[in-house]
Amino acid sequence: MKKIIALLMALLMVFGFTACGSNGSDNEVTKVGFIYIGSATDGGFTQAHDEARQKVETYFKGKVKTYYLENVAEDKESVKTAASNLMDQGCTIIVGNSFGFMDALADLAKEYPDVYFLHFSGSKSNDTNFDNFFGAMEQPRYLSGIAAGMMTKTNKLGYVAAFPYTEVNIGINAFTLGAQSVNPNVEVKVVYINTWYDPAKEQEAAEALLAQGCDILAQHCDTTGPLLAAQKAGKYSIGYNSDKGADFPDTFITAPIWHHEVYYEKAIKEIMDGTFKPSSYYGTMADGYVDLAPFTSIVPQNVQDKVNEVKAKIVSGDFNPMSGKIEFTDGTLWCKEGQTLTRAEIWPSELKLVKGVTATNQ
């Protein structure tokens, strides 16, 4: 029975496969396959990756052809089946866009040394054909916190979070530090929904935070659920992954966003040139990999000016949000006065929350 189910799943993936064409015959192009945890039109996390995929094709002007598979579960069998289907179509570069794809891609990198595997987030890589990439999202998170701290009327900020993982907690902490830098009285209330992608749960958690008096919602989850909840309640929101200002013009402030094409274009070009070497890429605002979406018209000019002032200092290297005295909720220090955290110190295996944050599980 398990074999029959696996066969059916493989067939569904083959028929659910989407290819985006480019000029030229197949033997003249490099084929790149993308494995997505969600829908390419989810309005958030996966869509940001897919928009970058489309920019890759435009950038390479017919020399690269891309394919993608959507809604792939975070288990080894599903990921390996998806990757096999893409490789069967001639893909020599496979991109996985979710943390839970890491172990499967690590296995595949050993099994297929002539195929390149690029994995968003995670920690595993090798010296030849398996790389992980991420970005200093703490930078735009901090800036979005400044905006929230200046615009809140209740001093209560809500945050819909996926899991209590280090990646998520870095964002919560940076957002809180940004808010506290302009408003020492601010509180950040977090609800973990324990899933990356569940529009209903995201909206439910957002509604619970609004009921606690939060007048601005931020998020680290994949869809626009919190933005919808804030709009319905007439409260402000800060998104994630992509700019949704046009969709929520009366309630959307800004969003920390990704430009994944910055890494994709770099890595694919190096692979095509034969110069690629896994580097555990960590993109910054200075190189354009992470950024803050443009403010909408609801944001006062003094707020925009303050955020842009700090942003300029981050980009120039004159200021690092992860510096100075930073205290956890239990009173221990994450960062000492006069210290700037290294990447390794920002990313411990387990990360606590900073003072001013309270968190619950949905």
Residues listed for the chain? 362
Q: Collapsing DSSP states into helix, strand and coil, what is residue 139?
A: helix
| Per-residue pLDDT in tens (0 to 9) along the chain, 362 residues | 434 444 444 444 443 455 544 434 456 899 999 999 999 998 889 999 999 999 999 999 999 999 999 999 999 999 999 999 999 999 999 999 998 999 999 999 999 999 999 999 888 999 999 999 999 999 999 999 999 999 999 999 999 999 999 999 999 999 999 999 999 999 999 999 999 889 999 999 999 999 999 999 999 998 899 999 999 999 999 999 999 999 999 999 999 999 999 999 999 999 999 999 999 999 999 999 999 999 999 999 999 999 999 999 999 999 999 999 999 999 999 999 999 999 999 999 999 999 999 999 99
Structure tokens of 329? 């909720």
Segments making up each domain of the chain, as ranges: 2-135+259-283, 138-255+293-361
Res 1: pLDDT: 44
Cβ pair 70, 16 in contact under 8 A: yes
pTM of the model: 0.90
On whether the CB atoms of residues 177 and 320 are closer than 8 A, the answer is no
- Distance set, CA 324 to CA 124, 170, 321, 336, 352 (Å): 30, 16, 8, 6, 17
Question: Which two tokens mark 198?
Answer: 């569940």
C-alpha triplet 216, 40, 191: angle, nearest 5°: 30
Same topology between domain 2-135+259-283 and domain 138-255+293-361 = yes
- State the maximum Cα–Cα separation within the chain, in Å, rounded to a whole number: 63
Task: State in Å, rounded, how far the first CA of the chain is from the last one.
Answer: 35
Q: What is the pLDDT of residue 43?
A: 84
Contacts of 63 (CB under 8 A, 6+ apart): 22, 24, 28, 29, 30, 272
Is the distance from CB of 199 to CB of 223 less than 8 angstroms?
yes
Q: What is the pLDDT of residue 24?
A: 42
- Is residue 195 within 8 A of residue 201, CB to CB? The reply is yes
Instruction: Identify the pLDDT of residue 56.
Output: 98
Q: Give the right CATH number for 138-255+293-361 from 1.10.286.10, 3.40.50.2300, 3.30.465.10, 3.40.50.1110.
A: 3.40.50.2300
pLDDT at 162: 96
Given a contact cutoff of 8 angstroms between Cβ atoms, the answer to whether 222 and 43 are in contact is no
User: What is d(CA 318, CA 297) in angstroms, rounded to the nearest whole number?
Assistant: 29
Residue 15: CB partners within 8 Å, gap ≥ 6? Answer: none
Q: Nearest CA to 292 among 343, 225, 243?
A: 243
Counting Cβ atoms within 10 Å, is residue 19 exposed (0-12), middle (13-18) or buried (19+)? middle
CA distance to 33, 253, 287, 288, 306, per residue, from 227 (Å) = 31, 10, 28, 25, 24
Q: What is the per-residue pLDDT for 244?
A: 94
Contact (Cβ atoms closer than 8 angstroms) between residue 91 and residue 17: no
Report d(CA 86, CA 14) in Å as an integer.
9
Domain at 2-135+259-283, CATH homologous superfamily: Response regulator (3.40.50.2300)
